Structure 1
Amino acid sequence: MGKILITGATGNLGIRTLDLLLQKFPSNQVAVLVRDPESEKIERFIKEGVEAHQGDYFDYNSLLRAFNGVEKLMLISAVAFTDRNTQHFNVIAAAKQAGVKQVIYTSIIRKENSNLILPEVTMSDLFAEQALRASGLDYTILRNPPYLETLHSFYGDALKVGGVRVPEGSGKVAAASLDDLAAANVAVLTQSGHENHTYNLSGSEGSSFADIAEALSEISEKNIAYETLSENDYLEAMGMPAFTNDFLLGWVRAVNTGEFSETSGDLERLIGRKPMTYKEFFKKQIAIST
């Protein structure tokens, strides 16, 4: 197998993917694309023999240089509130021009034929998926659910305030851990047979916000109430910048209407074991903090 390159390698998902990849693949056949090759986050990997390329999704020439000689490219999607369409298109076009064989893209999970629109996310993900399919490259689309590590961003510090306080809804979210999603990335990067497939990497079980409050109460041995708020009161309580209001509400509405509730089994099949459940995750986090 030829060289593997991971973009966004200093981010939460990228660095976990790189860590796991180096347990299975020679470091001298691994490269990364980073904005700052001197970052402390990447220093130890460079010492192990990983090739670091300074580059940016907006800088097409830097992408061409980095992708030279690469066989498989892990494209970790750009963050929200940036020009994601331009960035993703640049990466796909540069990969094609540089002779990359396969691009693996991290998209967002969604139900089949769903009308879900998350501001700053869904439309640009659909654009990237369509661009990949039209590129002539082999591709794998890994649709990620909300992360267990970021669920708290929907309801705040429940242990501190004594409650999960969100707009009303009974939908569930089959969230997954970053470690399990990174393991799925590595499986696709190091195995054949995943070309031109799309996987929905849901966790193994769903949880509503009420379920989360109940689990936190049980594990922490504190009374963590489930409380419903109007959307205006919720936004005021969360205290986020105004420009992120629609973004945050989009995610909460999607959870409450069950947009992330389906469990496909794809993640378990790729990593060869049961993914971490939300209760296991909370137990681990609470044990660390006490």
Structure 2
Amino acid sequence: MAAGKILVTGAGGHLGGITLDLLLEKLPASQLAAISRDPTNKLKRFADKGVSTYKADYNDYDALLAAFQGIEKVMMIGAHAFTDRIRQHYNVVTAARQAGVKHVVYTSVQRQEGAGIAMWDVTESDTFTEQALKASGMDYTIMMQPPFLETFFLYIGANALEEGINVPFGKSKFAPVTRDDLAAANVTVLTEEGHANKTYKLSGNEAFSFAEIAEILGQAKGQKVSSKNISEEEYLKWKGFEGQPEQLPQFRLAWVRAMNAGNFEEITGDLKRLIGRKPTEFRDYVRSNYPPTKGLF
């Protein structure tokens, strides 16, 4: 069990918040800390339980340095794409090192080394961050994550039961997982020994392709779901992208390409070993969580 104080960055978001919730089930609040751009609103429920909370932005080095004082381990949630991730992550790593942090756990995006697949505005900054951590002198753990099941409908739409699966298909498979399972893995690494200087690929236990989603979804929901292999040009014009930021269609297409190219195909068993149980599978998740009933962000 961890002895020093643990700080979770991005604790006002989904993954960071779930991680901190699970940490509170294992550790006293006095041993935990969290940062957010807006702690008054985003971290109040944690502060009310006795967690130390701080206002700190990845772009504010001084605020990070102050928040990291007396911290042994930092759970570093990766910054959003298109926000100068390299600069932000550099600030976190160097501030942690200067403050005397012993161990940083970082959420990277799963990739196949040497495959030549680069995720737009993600792979370069992830690689930079991992190299910075390895050169820092601190212990590190890299938590390579596949796509989230909670956000998977962004690729297929919220109305696939009626409209079908209309996506550019590929032959490769992928094994998405829930944020709950990823958070549980984070907690294991943060609170148990033996994870320093390791990299984990946190794939699910079940891999499938876009071409197989209609059948799996149909079985889970007890109805027939159609599918159509469309072109990338057609996908970019999908009505689900209407009203979204200009970069979103190309960004989502980059993830579809990566999934179709096998970037998330490897099933390692790392997640199952870390959480001590079988990760939630796609068919089980969609049975009770699709169509989605609330927003994601």
TM over 0.5: yes
2:269 is matched with: 265
1:78 CA displacement: 0.2
CA separation in 2, counterparts of 1:255 and 1:116? 10
- Structure 1: runs of 5+ lacking an equivalent: none
CA separation in 2, counterparts of 1:32 and 1:64? 13
Residues 30-49 of structure 1: matches in 2 within 5 Å? 30-39=32-41, 41-49=42-50
Q: Which amino acid aligns with 1:157?
A: A
| Structure 2 residue 131 is matched with structure 1 residue 130 | yes
1:218 is matched with: 219
1:51 is matched with: 52
1:177 is matched with: 178
1:113 CA displacement: 1.9
1:161 CA displacement: 4.0
Please state whether the residue corresponding to 1:22 is helix, strand or coil. Answer: helix
Sequence identity, in percent? 50
1:250 is matched with: 254
1:153 CA displacement: 0.9
1:85 is matched with: 86
Deviation larger for 175-184 or 249-258: 249-258
CA separation in 2, counterparts of 1:82 and 1:37? 20
1:25 is matched with: 27
CA separation in 2, counterparts of 1:97 and 1:241? 37
Q: Tell me, yes or no, if the aligned pair for 1:158 and 1:224 is still in contact at 8 Å.
A: no
Q: Which amino acid aligns with 1:155?
A: I
CA separation in 2, counterparts of 1:235 and 1:242? 11
| Structure 2 residue 140 is matched with structure 1 residue 139 | yes
2:115 is matched with: 114
Deviation larger for 228-237 or 95-104: 228-237
1:198 is matched with: 199
Please state whether the residue corresponding to 2:25 is helix, strand or coil. Answer: coil
Q: Which amino acid aligns with 1:255?
A: M
1:244 CA displacement: 2.8
1:169 CA displacement: 1.3
2:11 is matched with: 9
CA separation in 2, counterparts of 1:186 and 1:241? 33
Q: Which amino acid aligns with 1:10?
A: G
Give me the TM-score of the superposition, normalised by structure 2: 0.93
CA separation in 1, counterparts of 2:201 and 2:237? 33
Q: Tell me, yes or no, if the aligned pair for 2:79 and 2:85 is still in contact at 8 Å.
A: yes
CA deviations 1:170-226 (Å, max 9, x no partner) are 221111110000000000000111100011001111111122211211222232111
Please state whether the residue corresponding to 1:106 is helix, strand or coil. Answer: strand
**1:234–1:161 distance in 2 versus 1, CA, 3 Å:** farther
Q: Which amino acid aligns with 2:271?
A: L
Q: CA RMSD in A?
A: 1.5
Q: Tell me, yes or no, if the aligned pair for 2:166 and 2:230 is still in contact at 8 Å.
A: yes
Please state whether the residue corresponding to 2:33 is helix, strand or coil. Answer: strand
Please state whether the residue corresponding to 1:150 is helix, strand or coil. Answer: coil
Q: Which amino acid aligns with 2:258?
A: A
Q: Which amino acid aligns with 1:189?
A: L
1:43 CA displacement: 1.6
